[in-house]
Chains A and B, each alone.
Chain A
């Protein structure tokens, strides 16, 4: 795949990725792993892990990793530009449109935009759930702990995430030690 094809694919995925990064990840997987076979499944799963682990929008993270893998630094820059192109081209014109229409029209439109926002957030989280649904016992435990701490207890977000990752890291370290 040359750099131009990579840019075209990334623009295409950018414009198809309703719901943000999770949708972009699903689309990249469909094209590059399933259809073209350019990236091994194993390597792609590492990319997903890193994209969610690193702060920042996961669509940009996965585009960066894929670009780097397929075309070095130029590839990384081009695929990032491709994925972000809808934002650059559409968001400010759309914002003007929303602000400058007749108030009678926008009353309903605003409610509609809120509904769209909330639904797409729900949809994206369910897509990710579908990806991790191939669960074994240990993963189920991790799901339960993560959910209970964040949702039910209403725990403060950042300390919970950092603590959760530290505990998982410690468990993985100890299990690897004892495995030797």
Chain B
């Protein structure tokens, strides 16, 4: 894939990613996996690696996808390209929202924007799960779902740091994989 094409693709992903990182994940799937630039297995690894480190995971995913397709230049291009829209669009939109009058109508609009953001992240969560394990009732899938629910509850209820969850999970699964 030519670098020029990659620049265009990165801008496209940046400008279409309403809702943040979760949407970016789906767009990378559409433009890299469905066009057979990256295999589904590799994509699942990219997503897992991206969530392992802190920071904006959307940029981790686009950056890694660029790296897999075109090496280090691809990494830089995908990062800058998918960030460009925020730099261009953020100031006007922020001033527009600040300028809205405080009526119930604009409150509804603002809360609608936030609700859409939430629906998008939930949608992305379902997509990540379906992509990695499939939506079925195999024992492994059910085990993973129960495991996820337990840890999510612990993190939300007792404000457990996500780093602890990530460390323990990777350790347990690595040891389990060697022993089985």
Contact residues of A with B, CB < 8 Å?
Answer: 14-24, 43, 45-61, 64-65, 68, 80, 83-88, 90-92, 94-95, 98, 104-132, 138-139, 142-143, 146-147, 150-151, 157-158, 161, 164-165, 168-169, 171-176, 179
Contacts and interface: CB of A to CB of B under 8 A. Distances in A.
A176 B124 contact: no
The 8 A-B residue pairs whose C-beta atoms are closest, nearest first, are A108-B177, A113-B48, A112-B173, A172-B105, A175-B105, A56-B86, A52-B117, A18-B162
A109 B99 CA distance: 49
B115 interface: yes
Most buried by A among B103, B111, B165: B111
Most buried by A among B18, B56, B113: B56
Given A49-B113, A58-B117, A117 B132 contact: yes
Contacts of B83: 56-57, 60, 80, 84
A86 B175 CA distance: 26
A158 B123 CA distance: 13
A50 B93 contact: yes
Contacts of B119: 143, 146-147, 150-151
A119 B148 CA distance: 6
B166 A18 contact: yes
User: Chain B contact residues: over half helix, strand or loop, or mixed?
Assistant: helix
Interface in B89-119: 89-91, 93-94, 96-98, 101, 103-106, 108-119
B8 interface: no
A172 B107 CA distance: 8
Contact of B85 (A55, A59, A88): A55
A56 B47 contact: no
27 contacts: A43-B98, A47-B94, A53-B93, A55-B17, A65-B90, A80-B83, A84-B79, A86-B53, A87-B53, A95-B67, A108-B175, A110-B45, A112-B170, A114-B47, A115-B132, A115-B144, A115-B169, A117-B44, A118-B132, A120-B51, A121-B128, A132-B118, A142-B108, A143-B118, A150-B120, A157-B123, A179-B103
Contacts of B106: 172, 176
Contacts, number: 339
B162 A120 contact: yes
Interface residues of B, number: 97
B121 A124 contact: yes
Given A56-B82, A132-B111, A109 B170 contact: yes
A151 B94 CA distance: 29
A116 B51 contact: yes
Given A117-B51, A165-B112, A55 B67 contact: no
B59 A22 contact: no
Given A161-B18, A175-B105, 11 more contacts: A18-B161, A51-B90, A56-B17, A87-B59, A108-B174, A115-B173, A119-B148, A138-B104, A139-B108, A147-B119, A157-B123
